C-alpha cells in the first residue's frame, strides 16, 4: 500500500513538472513572438550584407582583359572570383550581374572600335522619346553584292556581339563573343549584320507612391485591403531563407520596344527592314540556341523571301522544333538541304548524329557544354558556308549559260533573216 502511495506521489510530481515546463516553453515562445513583432527583420538582416553598390568600370572592379582575351585581376592575375563574400550568395550574384553589364558595354566598344561596326537604331522610324533598341552593321552590310553574314545569339542576358556572358568572364573573349566570326567574315569579303534579339524593353524606375496612389484611388473594399496588408505584414516578419537579401532595390517597370518586344519579333523586323533590303545575293546565318527557333519562326512568316535569299544556315545547339512551331513540309525540306545544327555532344567534332526531327543535319560540336557549341564549331561553320557558296555559284553559272544560249539563237536567226532581206 505504501508503494502505491509513493508511485502516485511520483506520478503527480512528474505531471506537475511537465506542466510547468510546458508553461515555461509557452511563455518563451510568446516572448520570442513578441520580440520578433517589434524587430524590423529587414533592418536587422541588412547589417549582415554590404550595400548593393558596385563599381561602374572594369578598372574600378580591378579587372582587365589580358593579351589572350582572358579576364584577370589587375593585382593578383587571378581569374574572376564569384564567391567574393562567403555565405552571401545573392550579393555575389548581384556583383556578378553588375560586372556583366560592364562586359556588355566593353563588347559594344570592341564591335565599334576594333570591328568597325556601326549602330543602327530600331525602330527605324522611332520618335525621339520612344524606347529604342539597335543592331550592328558593317559599312557594306546593305551594299555588299556578294554575301552577308547574319549573327543571332540565344536568349537571356546576352546582347549584341555575345554568345555567352559566362564564357567571356570565366574563359575568354574568343569563346564568349561573336568577334572571331565578325573578323573572319570581314576578311573573307562578307558584309556583317549583328542582331540584338534580347533588347526588348526599356527599364525605367517606378515613380515612388504612384502604385500606392492608384491603390488608394481604386474601389477596393476596406476589409479586403486589411487582409492584404495583414498578409504583407506577415511576409515581412517571417524568417527568410539563408541567402535572402532584404535590402529594398530600385523598383522598375518595362516599356516594350515597338515591333521588337520578343526575339522572334526582332528577327522578323530586322529581316523586313534590313536583311531582305540588302543587295547580297547570298545571305548566310549563324543562329545559336533560341536564335535557331527565331529563324524557323522567320521562315514560317516569310518562307518565299527566306528561301530565295538565304544560301545556308548554321545553327549551334538550336532549340527550334519544326513540329511544335508547325513548320510546313516545304520548310522542313529546305532545312534538310540548307541547314546544319552543331549540337552539344561527347562525340568528336563533325560526327554525324541521329536525327531527332525531320529537318536539318545534326553534327557534334565536339563539346558537351551548350554555350561552347558556337566557338567549337567555328571553323566547321565557315567550311559549311564555303561549300554552299560554291554550290550556289555553280547553279548560277548553269543558269547563266542557259540564258546566254537562248538569246544567241535569236540573234543568229535575226541576222540570217536580215541577210536574206538584203540579198533580195
Task: List the domain boundaries for the chain.
Answer: 16-38+207-250, 48-114, 116-202+257-391
Q: Which residues are catalytic?
A: 289
**What's the fold here for domain 116-202+257-391?**
Rossmann fold (3.40.50)
| DSSP one-letter string for 344-383 | --SSPTT-B---SSSSSEEEE-S-S-GGGHHHHTHHHHHH
Termini Cα distance of the chain: 158
- pLDDT (tens place) for every residue of the chain, 424 residues total: 544 555 656 565 666 666 666 666 666 666 666 655 655 544 444 446 788 889 999 999 999 999 999 999 999 999 999 988 887 888 889 999 999 999 999 999 999 999 999 999 999 999 999 999 999 999 999 999 999 999 999 999 999 999 999 999 999 999 999 999 999 999 999 999 999 999 999 888 776 655 544 444 445 566 666 666 666 665 555 444 444 445 666 677 889 999 999 999 999 999 999 999 999 999 999 999 999 999 999 999 999 999 999 999 999 999 999 999 999 999 999 999 999 999 999 999 999 999 888 899 999 999 999 999 999 999 999 999 999 999 998 888 887 777 666 654 444 443 434 333 333 2
Distance CA 184, CA 202 (A): 33
* Closest alpha carbon to 382 in 340, 332, 352, 348: 340
Q: Residue 50: its pLDDT value, please?
A: 81
Q: Residue 417: its pLDDT value, please?
A: 41
Indicate the SS3 state at residue 24.
helix
Q: Residue 328: its pLDDT value, please?
A: 96
The phi and psi torsions of 413 (rounded to 5 degrees) equal: -60, -45
| Cβ neighbours around 9 below 10 Å, total | 10
Query: Position of cell 563588347?
Result: 107
Amino acid at each position: 500500500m505504501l508503494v502505491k502511495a509513493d508511485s502516485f506521489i511520483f506520478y503527480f510530481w512528474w505531471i506537475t513538472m511537465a506542466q510547468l515546463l510546458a508553461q515555461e516553453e509557452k511563455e518563451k515562445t510568446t516572448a520570442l513572438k513578441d520580440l520578433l513583432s517589434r524587430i524590423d527583420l529587414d533592418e536587422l538582416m541588412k547589417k549582415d550584407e554590404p550595400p548593393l553598390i558596385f563599381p561602374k568600370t572594369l578598372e574600378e572592379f580591378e579587372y582587365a582583359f589580358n593579351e589572350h582575351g582572358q579576364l584577370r585581376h589587375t593585382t593578383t592575375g587571378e581569374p574572376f572570383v564569384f564567391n567574393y563574400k562567403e555565405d552571401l550568395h545573392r550579393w555575389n550574384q548581384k556583383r556578378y550581374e553588375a560586372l556583366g553589364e560592364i562586359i556588355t558595354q566593353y563588347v559594344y566598344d570592341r564591335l565599334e572600335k576594333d570591328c568597325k561596326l556601326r549602330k543602327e537604331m530600331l525602330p527605324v522610324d522611332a520618335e525621339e522619346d520612344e524606347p529604342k533598341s539597335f543592331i550592328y552593321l558593317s559599312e557594306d552590310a546593305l551594299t555588299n553584292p556578294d554575301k552577308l553574314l547574319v549573327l543571332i545569339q540565344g536568349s537571356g542576358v546576352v546582347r549584341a556581339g555575345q554568345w555567352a556572358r559566362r564564357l567571356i568572364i570565366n574563359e575568354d573573349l574568343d569563346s564568349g563573343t561573336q568577334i572571331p566570326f565578325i573578323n573572319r567574315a570581314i576578311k573573307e569579303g562578307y558584309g556583317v549584320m549583328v542582331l540584338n534579339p534580347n533588347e526588348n524593353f526599356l527599364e525605367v524606375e517606378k515613380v515612388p507612391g504612384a502604385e500606392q496612389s492608384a491603390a488608394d484611388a481604386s474601389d477596393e473594399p476596406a476589409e479586403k485591403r486589411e487582409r492584404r496588408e495583414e498578409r504583407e505584414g506577415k511576409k515581412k516578419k517571417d524568417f527568410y531563407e539563408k541567402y535572402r537579401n532584404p535590402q529594398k532595390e530600385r523598383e522598375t517597370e518595362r516599356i516594350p520596344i515597338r515591333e521588337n518586344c520578343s526575339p522572334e519579333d526582332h528577327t522578323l523586323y530586322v529581316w523586313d527592314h534590313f536583311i531582305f533590303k540588302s543587295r547580297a545575293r547570298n545571305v548566310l546565318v549563324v543562329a545559336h540556341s533560341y536564335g535557331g527557333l527565331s529563324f524557323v519562326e522567320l521562315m514560317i512568316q516569310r518562307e518565299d523571301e527566306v528561301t530565295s535569299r538565304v544560301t545556308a544556315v548554321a545553327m549551334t545547339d538550336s532549340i527550334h522544333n519544326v513540329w511544335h512551331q508547325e513548320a510546313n513540309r516545304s520548310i522542313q525540306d529546305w532545312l534538310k538541304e540548307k541547314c546544319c545544327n552543331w549540337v552539344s555532344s561527347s562525340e568528336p567534332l563533325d560526327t554525324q548524329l541521329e536525327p531527332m526531327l525531320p529537318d536539318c543535319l545534326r553534327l557534334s560540336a565536339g563539346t558537351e557544354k551548350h554555350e561552347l557549341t558556337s566557338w567549337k564549331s567555328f571553323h566547321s561553320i565557315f567550311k559549311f558556308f564555303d561549300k554552299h557558296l560554291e554550290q550556289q555559284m555553280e547553279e548560277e553559272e548553269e543558269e547563266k549559260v542557259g540564258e546566254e544560249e537562248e538569246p544567241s539563237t535569236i540573234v543568229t536567226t535575226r541576222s540570217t533573216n536580215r541577210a536574206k532581206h538584203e540579198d533580195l
